[in-house]
Structure 1
Amino acid sequence: MPYPCEYNFTKSKSMALKPTIYKLNIALADLNNQHYPTLHLTMAQHPSETSERMLVRMLAFCRHSHADTHELMRFTKGLSATDEPDIWHKGLDDALNYWIDIGEPSFDRMKKACRLSKETYLYSFNSKSAVWWKQNQEQFTKLPIKVFSFDWTDIQSLAKHVGRTMNWSITISDESFFISTNETQIEVPWVSLL
């Protein structure tokens, strides 16, 4: 008979939560870059990740998926790997070209990202974004980073249409996404903070 601690360890290990897998087929029309691919994305939603955060990852991926980058753009392990961005673009020489993070990270994390990557991007989106930005703006202006913000209510509206398989059309024009789902059409603009 196993020791109680061994039994508990085995039991808790088998109960570990697994990520939820989503399939996205996106007809993308990036009018800003004259790029019109069809993206077939597989996204793993970490058990602690909200649908809203997952969708912001998807939008950031679409925005940076230019003709010269989309073949090498990758979702990383995200919340499962604290030393990686949410999305990266590595060159054929394995150099890190883009570091793309989602949320409201610390200054130290983004300072490290700027050292490791040629270009660093950050997308903030939740209800506390304005407070986070007010507290961190001065420090972030010292970094070679581009910071963008989505309105929380826009992202919440979009999250209502999440399904395990999504066939969406997304048009990027100026500073907005125009998203057509099976049920509705939603505009999701972004604001450049830095």
Structure 2
Amino acid sequence: MALRATIYKVELNVADNDRAYYGSHTLTLARHPSETEERLMARLLAYGLYVQSDEGLSFSRGLSDSDEPALWEHDLGGNLMHWLEVGLPDDRRLIKASGRAEKVTVLAYGRNVSVWWSGIKDKISRARNVQVYALDVAGTDALAALAERGLTINLNVQDGTVWASTDKGEATIEISHLNAAA
């Protein structure tokens, strides 16, 4: 018998001072049996960092479909506007995504980000629509510890730092732009 996804009900409150976006969202996330809570919470963080309204940005089938990102945004005509990856995708995946979407964003996390980045940065440099950010390890570990199946989480964003708080605790996630223009 196949394992089923675990369902998480989330009330997400975003106060993003960097984008001047403030909103509340009721979400249902499915955690794939092979997905860690760290990746689940990184996907939730990505949603909070890039949501602009209740329409547009959505979770894809993710791990269940290798041809889809963690999140994506389509315009009203169905055109793929934003491809959002979470984790350490390979260069071929990012080059392919850069041809399909107007904008590609990667939120890399984990202990091997620097090794991954050194191996991929030259290969994706020609894809001008790919932006890569790194989430600090301590921050994503603390964020994963906040995961609960019924979750109310507040994200406050300012100057590339995210403060996440729930009834269970708090996490501070530092975000660095890896391929920023020098």
> Structure 1 length normalisation: TM-score?
0.89
Q: Which residue of 2 aligns with 1:55?
A: 41
SS at match of 1:158: helix
- Which residue does the alignment assign to 2:82? 98
2:4 matched residue in structure 1: 18
Q: Per the alignment, in what secondary structure is the counterpart of residue 71 of structure 1? A: coil
1:157 is displaced (CA, Å) by 1.4
Report the alpha carbon displacement of residue 32 of structure 1 after superposing the two structures with TM: 1.3
Structure number having the greater strand percentage: 2
Aligned partner of 1:135 in structure 2 is 119
Q: Distance in 2 between matches of 1:99 and 1:31?
A: 23
Q: Distance in 2 between matches of 1:178 and 1:108?
A: 33
Structure ranking higher in helix proportion:
1
Q: CA RMSD in A?
A: 1.0
Q: Confirm or deny that 1:124 pairs with 2:108.
A: yes
Q: Matched residue of 1:52: which SS?
A: helix
Q: 1: CA distance between counterparts of 2:147 and 2:49?
A: 19
Larger radius of gyration: 1
Shift of 1:143: 1.2
String of CA shifts for 1:86-125, please: whole Å, max 9, x gaps.
Answer: 1000011000000001111111111010000000101110
Distance 1:64 1:151 in 2: 18
Distance in 2 (CA, whole Å) between partners of 1:142 and 1:104 is: 18
1:74 equivalent in alignment to 2:58: yes
Indicate yes or no: 2:180 matched with 1:180: no
Using the TM superposition, give the Cα deviation of residue 28 of structure 1 relative to its aligned residue in structure 2, in angstroms: 1.0
1:96, 1:116 within 8 Å by CA — same for their partners in 2?
yes
The aligned counterpart of 2:29 is 43
Tell me the amino acid that sits aligned with residue 159 of structure 1. A
Tell me if the contact between 1:33 and 1:66 (Cα under 8 Å) persists in the aligned partners: no
Aligned counterpart for 1:151 among listed residues 88, 111, 136: 136
4+ aligned runs moved over 4 Å, structure 1: none
Gaps of 5+ in 2: none
Deviation at 1:136, TM superposition (A): 1.1
The match for 1:3 is: none
Equivalents in 2 of 1:178, 1:80: separation in Å?
30
Residue 69 of structure 2 aligns with which residue?
85
Q: Does 1:192 align with 2:173?
A: no
Give the number of aligned pairs: 178
TM-score (norm 2): 0.94
The answer for unaligned runs of 5 or more in structure 1 is 1-14
Q: Name 1:5's counterpart in structure 2.
A: none
